[in-house]
Homo-oligomer: A and B are copies of this chain.
Amino acid sequence: MARFAVRMEVDLPADMDADARADLLAREKAWSQQWQRSGEWVSIWRCVGEYANLSIFEVRDNEQLHEILWGLPLFPYMTMTVTPLATHPSDVHA
């Protein structure tokens, strides 16, 4: 199991067709929630004042993380920052 923090910034064209946008966002939500329910997408938070989120993933390996991120319907509109994480020696839960 490998843990990663991923920050995703979204930049949708302001003049996108409203129906296309609604459909895109619905598929985005479904893809995200499917991976939350199966346990790989552990946490997702909104960054205040930004069209961006910070997420924590626990995946099998790098390949699986890329599969999840690449499959996001919003991927072509996103900028990702991926940070691999390890156990911290001060962690009381580790």
Contact = CB atoms under 8 A, between A and B. Distances in A.
Interface of A: 1-6, 12-14, 28-29, 32-33, 36-37, 43-51, 53-54, 61-63, 65-66, 69-70, 75-77, 80, 82-93
Contacts of A45: 3, 5, 85-88, 91
Return the 10 tightest CB-CB contacts between A and B, nearest first: A45-B85, A49-B80, A48-B84, A66-B86, A49-B69, A49-B82, A46-B88, A14-B76, A46-B86, A36-B92
Contact of A84 (B36, B62, B88): B62
A80 to B, nearest CB: 4
A45 to B, nearest CB: 4
